[in-house]
Amino acid sequence: MQLIDSILTQAAGIAAVRRDIHAHPELCFQEVRTADVVAQKLTEWGIEVRRGLGTTGLVGLVHGRDGGACGRAIGLRADMDALPMQEHNTFAHASQYAGKMHACGHDGHTAMLLAAAQHFAKHRHFDGTVVLIFQPAEEGGGGAREMIKDGLFEQFPVEAVFGMHNWPGLPVGTFAASTGPVMASSNEFHIVIRGKGAHAALPHNGIDPVPVACQMVQAFQTIITRNKKPVDAGVISVTMIHTGEATNVVPERCEIQGTVRTFTYDVLDLIERRMSEIAQHTCAAFGATCEFQFKRNYPPTINHPVETAFARAVMAEIVGAEQVLDQEPTMGAEDFAYMLQERPGCYAFIANGDGAHREMGHGGGPCMLHNPSYDFNDDLIPLGATFWVRLAEKWLAQPRTGAGA
- What span, in angstroms and rounded, lies between the C-alpha atoms of 42 and 174? 28
Percent of the chain with pLDDT over 90: 95
Q: How confident is the model at residue 401 (pLDDT cuts 50, 70, 90)?
A: low
Q: What is the pLDDT of residue 365?
A: 77
- Contacts of residue 65, defined as CB under 8 A and 6 or more positions apart, other chains included, come to 124, 125, 126, 127
Residue 31 near residue 136 (C-beta atoms within 8 A): yes
- What span, in angstroms and rounded, lies between the C-alpha atoms of 357 and 376? 9
CA proximity to 275, closest of 344, 188, 148? 188
- What span, in angstroms and rounded, lies between the C-alpha atoms of 206 and 1? 70
Per-residue model confidence as pLDDT tens digits over 209-230: 999 999 999 999 999 999 999 9
- Contacts of residue 171, defined as CB under 8 A and 6 or more positions apart, other chains included, come to 351, 353, 354
- What span, in angstroms and rounded, lies between the C-alpha atoms of 23 and 98? 11
Sign of torsion, CA 60 66 67 72?
negative
Per-residue model confidence as pLDDT tens digits over 11-30: 999 999 999 999 999 999 99
Average pLDDT for residues 270-288, to the nearest whole number?
A: 98
- What span, in angstroms and rounded, lies between the C-alpha atoms of 351 and 356? 13
Q: What is the pLDDT of residue 46?
A: 97
Average pLDDT for residues 344-361, to the nearest whole number?
A: 90
* Helices assigned H by DSSP within 260-326: 265-286, 305-319
Question: What DSSP state is assigned to residue 83?
Answer: B
The secondary element (H helix, E strand) that includes residue 5 is helix 5-23
The secondary element (H helix, E strand) that includes residue 129 is strand 129-135
Report all structural domains of the chain as residue ranges with CATH numbers, in order of start: 5-183+300-397 (3.40.630.10), 187-296 (3.30.70.360)
Asked if the model's pLDDT at residue 404 lies above 90, the reply is no
- DSSP-assigned letters across all residues of 163-228: EEEEETTSPTT-EE--SEEEE---EEEEEEEE-B-EETT-GGGSB-HHHHHHHHHHHHHHIIIIIS
Say which amino acid occupies 191.
I
- What span, in angstroms and rounded, lies between the C-alpha atoms of 267 and 223? 10
- When the pLDDT of each residue in the chain is averaged and rounded to a whole number, the result is 96
* Helices assigned H by DSSP within 61-125: 106-122
Question: To 10 degrees, what angle do helices 209-222 and 265-286 make?
Answer: 150
- What span, in angstroms and rounded, lies between the C-alpha atoms of 370 and 87? 10
- What span, in angstroms and rounded, lies between the C-alpha atoms of 393 and 129? 10
- What span, in angstroms and rounded, lies between the C-alpha atoms of 104 and 90? 17
Per-residue model confidence as pLDDT tens digits over 191-205: 999 999 999 999 999
Residue 62 near residue 72 (C-beta atoms within 8 A): no
Q: What is the pLDDT of residue 5?
A: 97
- What span, in angstroms and rounded, lies between the C-alpha atoms of 124 and 126? 6
Asked if the model's pLDDT at residue 115 lies above 90, the reply is yes
Average pLDDT for residues 41-52, to the nearest whole number?
A: 98
Residue 58 β-bridge partners: 51, 134
Average pLDDT for residues 266-281, to the nearest whole number?
A: 98
Asked if the model's pLDDT at residue 403 lies above 70, the reply is no
Asked if the model's pLDDT at residue 362 lies above 90, the reply is no
Average pLDDT for residues 152-157, to the nearest whole number?
A: 98
